[in-house]
């Protein structure tokens, strides 16, 4: 859990850093300052939240929360009280596992560079899609908005980010002067890239999957 959350934290850190830096760079050229305030508010808020989550503050507050809530929950809701104590323990252990990565600076730097590389490939794919529909968008605008759109689609709001990504594309790139049909078209075309990227893996796995099914059929196992 600690390794998974550390990967997610570093991924969000890369997304917010790219989006915030590029937006502050291009904000004088944007006619609508609302999008600047949106990016600065979301990215700045997430960076502050990550800094607080990775600080010693949660560990220091955990005993106070346990002393304040555990007796009341144990008296009125015993099952909920036990669940709360276990949850608090797991969160404390997970926090310790994440913070432990600070003792491995080389690993952190390497993973951060890989995260920036992954986001760079995502930005490049959208850049190619905009060019494919004959509406090239400046690189800095894509660096500013694509990471923020990716972050919003990661939120557990809808299945596979459907609707959220389209709305984010229309909002962010619309403020940058991109026509709505172009933004919506690029957003929808990006799903083809996502599903197309699964085909090589499916081709590699399918023969083994079919062989396993034949073996189970011969042996009589379901």
Instruction: Supply the pLDDT for residue 196.
Output: 81
Instruction: Supply the pLDDT for residue 128.
Output: 93
Nearest to 143 by CA among 28, 7, 14: 14
**Cα separations in angstroms, 146 against 10, 78, 80:** 17, 47, 41
Q: What is the pTM of this model?
A: 0.77
pLDDT at 47 over 60: yes
Query: Of 76-80, 104-108, 180-184, 197-201, which has the strongest mean pLDDT?
Result: 180-184
Instruction: Supply the pLDDT for residue 220.
Output: 59
| Confidence at 144, pLDDT banded by 50, 70, 90 | very high
Segment 61-85 mean pLDDT: 77
pLDDT at 221 over 70: no
- Sign, Cα dihedral of 189, 32, 40, 18: positive
Residue 215: CB atoms within 10 A of its CB come to 10
How is residue 30 annotated by DSSP? -
Q: Which tokens belong to 149?
A: 């759109």
Nearest to 143 by CA among 176, 191, 167: 176
How is residue 142 annotated by DSSP? H
How is residue 158 annotated by DSSP? S
Q: Which of 21-25, 46-50, 179-183 has the lowest mean pLDDT?
A: 46-50
Q: Which tokens belong to 42?
A: 């979301």
pLDDT at 204 over 70: yes
pLDDT at 145 over 90: yes
């Amino acid at each position: 859990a600690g390794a998974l959350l550390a990967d997610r934290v570093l991924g969000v850190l890369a997304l917010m850093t790219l989006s915030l830096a590029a937006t502050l760079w291009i904000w004088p050229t944007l006619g609508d300052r609302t999008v600047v305030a949106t990016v600065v508010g979301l990215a700045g808020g997430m960076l502050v939240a990550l800094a607080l989550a990775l600080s010693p503050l949660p560990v220091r507050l955990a005993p106070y929360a346990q002393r304040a809530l555990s007796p009341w929950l144990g008296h009125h809701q015993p099952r909920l009280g036990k669940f709360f104590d276990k949850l608090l323990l797991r969160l404390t252990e997970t926090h310790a596992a994440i913070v432990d990565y600070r003792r491995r600076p080389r690993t952190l730097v390497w993973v951060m560079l890989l995260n920036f590389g992954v986001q760079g490939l995502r930005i490049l794919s959208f850049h190619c899609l905009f060019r494919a529909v004959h509406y090239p968008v400046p690189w800095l605008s894509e660096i500013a908005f694509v990471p923020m759109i990716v972050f919003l689609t990661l939120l557990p709001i809808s299945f596979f980010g459907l609707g959220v990504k389209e709305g984010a594309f229309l909002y962010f790139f619309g403020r940058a002067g991109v026509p709505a049909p172009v933004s919506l078209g690029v957003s929808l075309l990006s799903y083809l890239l996502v599903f197309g990227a699964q085909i090589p893996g499916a081709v590699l796995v399918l023969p083994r999957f079919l062989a396993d099914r034949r073996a189970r059929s011969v042996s009589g196992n379901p």
